[in-house]
């Protein structure tokens, strides 16, 4: 593919400028670099990056791209979490147009907050913030939300799943555009909301927030992965509890992986648990965590809220490569992260043209600045990092708090995976409770190395030629998940969860 501007492309670009305004259309390669380059991998040419300011503008931009036979890449936050939102190479057979949805960041609360409508640019953070006064939460409140990931990006990739009772991002109610068998763009309204008949009527009503309670239908379709709480308890199944592109979780926008242009999704929210307690478990024997996982999922009356694993090595990786990002999130707040990542991307694009600056200059500078600050881990966590190789953060709520505490005390007195001498000497010291703040810091620390370019450069120097993020999904019946040196490395670098 060549991005050289031809006469036909000039007419096409003029049409895009007419639709969204010249200030919301980028064609200069230096200015589009931030959007053409993935955070961890993926990079290529693009004819233009366009920023529609309304759903109706998005529809018209899509129509123009389809008419001109352009490849369309829908892009939201471009966090690099799931890849696929940037070109990958320059061997495409047509010009690429990247449609950034950052301006389409509205959301609409339905009823008393039991459901929401999320738009293409709505972030998990903004959704969480809007629901908090209502005592509600979205399907995901940790991990991706700390770096500005979009709600619809998660739906399109069936992302999430760290919250055991809620499962991955999924809905059967959405509004999306697709190209039909005749090659024509069509708009499909499966939101279960009466918005009109034509695309113009439907999209204008959403743009103007003219949704009434009487417009909303409840017809039995699901707005979250409703049976996940039952599926996750089947610990003898020969499949993972969840994984991307699971055929049973593919439904129109859910799992579409960019093959549809999604305008809005309707999602369930969840009542926030008021009584929560986090247990920090440490061990040098992975079999211990296997026993804990299997017993809790199979026998507990109350499922955990979440279970997050971290290997000892990820502590060191985060300390070296992610301390700057951790401090930004912890001190400035999650809502500032999209702005800083955008500013950083623009700065990187400018500095790459100056030979004086080494590659990834901003990452290196930020990391050196971060090392000027003292360690951000409390002494007890640092002590446990030194003592134990494997760490599990187990969050319980309601009656599950007492259930977990009682069982963990008994378990560490008689656990089969722990030697008798260790059981007698350290039974009461294999877990302790942590505050919600420390728990959130644990999760942030676990996630932030995946955002570090210099970390991925280090991985590539270790022999991995195409570094990318990894989530390892094991069969639920698997008992030995960390028994070889290779698997141990994967454990250290991966998002291994209790499910």
**Number of domains comprising the chain:** 3
Is residue 430 one of the residues assigned to a domain? yes
Q: pLDDT, tens digit, for every residue of 196-248?
A: 999 999 999 999 999 999 999 999 999 999 999 899 999 999 988 887 778 88
CATH of the domain at 265: 3.30.465.10
> Per the domain annotation, does 248 fall within a domain?
yes
Burial class (CB in 10 A: 0-12, 13-18, 19+), 218: exposed
Q: Is residue 2 part of a domain?
A: no
Domain housing 346: 276-493
The 8 Å CB, 24+ separation contacts for 102-106 are: 102/51, 102/76, 102/77, 103/24, 103/51, 103/52, 103/53, 104/52, 104/53, 104/54, 104/55, 104/58, 106/209
- Residues 54-87: b if buried by 16+ CB within 10 A, e if exposed: bbbbbbbbbbbbbebebbbbbbbbbbbbbbbbbb
Same domain, 288 and 371: yes
Query: Please, are residues 165 and 306 in contact by the beta-carbon 8 Å criterion?
Result: no
Average confidence (pLDDT) over 356-371: 76
Domain for residue 498, yes or no? Answer: no
pLDDT in the model for residue 142: 56
pLDDT, tens digit, 9 for 90 and up, residues 455-473: 445 444 444 444 445 566 7
Looking up tokens 């003029």 gives 14
- CATH number, domain of 70, equals 3.30.43.10
Same domain, yes or no, for 216 and 296? Answer: no
Residue 370, domain member (yes or no): yes
Residue 180: which pLDDT band, with cuts at 50, 70 and 90? very high
Look at residue 325 and tell me if it is in a domain: yes
The chain-wide mean pLDDT, for the chain, equals 82
What confidence score (pLDDT) does residue 147 get?
60
**70 shares a domain with 118:** no
264 in a structural domain: yes
Can you tell me the distance from the alpha carbon of 153 to that of 82, in angstroms, rounded to the nearest whole number? 8
pLDDT digits (tens, 9 = 90+) for 238-294: 988 887 778 888 999 999 988 999 999 999 999 988 888 999 999 888 888 889 999
- In a shared domain, residues 374 and 233: no
- Can you give the CATH number for the domain in which 360 is found? 3.30.70.610
What is this structure's pTM? 0.85
pLDDT in tens, 101-111: 999 999 999 99
Question: Are 210 and 64 within one domain?
Answer: no
- Please give the structure tokens belonging to residue 341: 């990542």
Q: Which residues pair with 175 in a beta bridge?
A: 189, 264
Task: Enumerate the H helices of 53-193 as residue ranges.
Answer: 55-67, 124-131, 151-156
Helices 323-332 & 312-321, crossing angle to 10 degrees? Answer: 80
Q: Name the domain boundary from 100, 122, 149.
A: 100
Q: Considering 244, 271, 298, which residue would you say is the last residue of a domain?
A: 271
**Residue 86 in this model has a pLDDT that exceeds 70:** yes
Same domain, 306 and 442: yes
Last residue of a domain, one of 271, 289, 324: 271
C-alpha closest to that of 352 among 75, 38, 30: 30
- The answer on 341 and 402 residing in a single domain is yes
| Statement to judge: residues 263 and 283 lie in one domain | no
What is the per-residue pLDDT for 420?
A: 52
Segment 359-372 shows an average pLDDT of 77
Q: What is the pLDDT of residue 302?
A: 95
Cα–Cα distances in Å, from 206 out to 56, 124, 156, 298, 309?
A: 9, 20, 20, 44, 41
Return the structure tokens found at 73. Answer: 């890449």
Domain check: are 55 and 119 in the same one?
no
**Residue 25 and residue 50 in contact, taking contact as beta carbons nearer than 8 Å:** yes
CA distance 450 to 469: 7
pLDDT tens digits along 389-414: 888 989 999 999 999 999 998 888 87
pLDDT digits (tens, 9 = 90+) for 303-354: 999 888 888 887 777 777 777 777 777 777 766 766 777 777 778 777 777 7
Task: Say how far apart CA 167 and CA 237 lie, in whole Å.
Answer: 17
* pLDDT one-digit tens code per residue, 335-346: 676 677 777 777
96 and 119 part of one domain:
no
Tens digit of pLDDT for each residue in 473-484?
778 888 776 654
Q: CA angle, 446 as apex, 444 and 451 as ends, to 5°?
A: 80
Considering the domain architecture, whether residues 469 and 321 belong to the same structural domain is answered as: yes
Q: Are 164 and 139 in contact (CB under 8 A)?
A: no
With 60 as the cut, is the pLDDT of residue 430 above it?
A: yes
State the average pLDDT over residues 429-448: 74
Residue of higher predicted confidence among 360 and 87: 87
| Res 499 pLDDT > 50 | no
Higher pLDDT, 270 or 434: 270
Q: Are 426 and 323 in contact (CB under 8 A)?
A: no
242 shares a domain with 281:
no
Q: How confident is the model at residue 132 (pLDDT cuts 50, 70, 90)?
A: very high
Assigned domain for 195 exists = yes
């Amino acid at each position: 593919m060549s991005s050289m501007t031809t006469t036909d492309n000039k007419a096409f670009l003029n049409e895009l400028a007419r639709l969204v305004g010249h200030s919301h259309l980028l064609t200069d390669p230096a200015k589009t670099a931030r959007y053409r380059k993935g955070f961890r991998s993926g990079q290529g040419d693009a004819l233009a990056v366009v920023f529609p300011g309304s759903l109706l503008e998005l529809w018209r931009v899509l129509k123009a791209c389809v008419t001109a036979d352009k490849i369309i890449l829908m892009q939201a936050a471009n966090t690099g979490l799931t890849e696929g939102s940037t070109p990958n190479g320059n061997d495409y057979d047509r010009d690429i147009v990247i449609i950034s949805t950052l301006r389409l960041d509205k959301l609409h609360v339905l009823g008393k907050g039991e459901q929401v409508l999320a738009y293409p640019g709505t972030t998990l953070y903004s959704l969480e913030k809007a629901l908090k006064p209502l005592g509600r939460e979205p399907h995901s409140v940790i991990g991706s939300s700390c770096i500005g990931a979009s709600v619809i990006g998660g739906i399109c990739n069936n992302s999430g799943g760290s919250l055991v009772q809620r499962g991955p991002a999924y809905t059967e109610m959405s509004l999306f555009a697709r190209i039909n068998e005749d090659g024509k763009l069509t708009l499909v309204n499966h939101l279960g909301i009466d918005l009109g008949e034509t695309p113009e009527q439907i999209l204008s009503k959403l743009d103007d927030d003219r949704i009434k309670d009487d417009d909303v239908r409840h017809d039995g379709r699901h707005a979250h992965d409703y049976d996940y709480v039952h599926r996750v308890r089947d610990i003898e199944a020969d499949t993972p509890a969840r994984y991307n592109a699971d055929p049973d979780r593919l439904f129109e926008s859910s799992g579409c992986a960019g093959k549809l242009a999604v305008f809005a999704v309707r999602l369930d929210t969840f009542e926030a648990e008021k009584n929560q307690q986090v247990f920090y478990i440490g061990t040098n024997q992975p079999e211990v965590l296997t026993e804990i996982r299997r017993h809790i999922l199979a026998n507990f009356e109350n499922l955990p809220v979440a279970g997050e694993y971290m290997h000892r090595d990820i502590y060191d990786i985060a300390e070296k490569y992610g301390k700057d990002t951790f401090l930004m999130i912890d001190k400035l707040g999650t809502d500032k992260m999209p702005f800083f990542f955008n500013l950083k991307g623009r700065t990187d694009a400018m500095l790459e043209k100056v030979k004086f600056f080494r590659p990834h200059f901003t990452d290196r500078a930020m990391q050196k600045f971060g090392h000027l600050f003292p360690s951000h881990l409390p002494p007890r966590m640092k002590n446990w990092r030194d003592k134990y190789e494997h760490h599990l953060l187990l969050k319980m709520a309601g009656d599950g708090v007492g259930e977990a505490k009682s069982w963990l005390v008994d378990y560490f007195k008689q656990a089969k995976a722990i030697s008798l001498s260790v059981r007698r000497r350290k039974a009461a010291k294999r877990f302790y409770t942590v505050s919600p703040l420390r728990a959130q810091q644990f999760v942030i620390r676990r996630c932030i190395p995946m955002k570090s370019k210099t970390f991925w450069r280090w991985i590539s120097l270790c022999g991995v030629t195409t570094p990318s993020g990894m989530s390892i999904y094991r069969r639920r019946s698997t008992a030995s998940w960390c028994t070889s040196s290779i698997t141990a490395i994967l454990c250290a670098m991966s998002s291994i969860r209790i499910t």
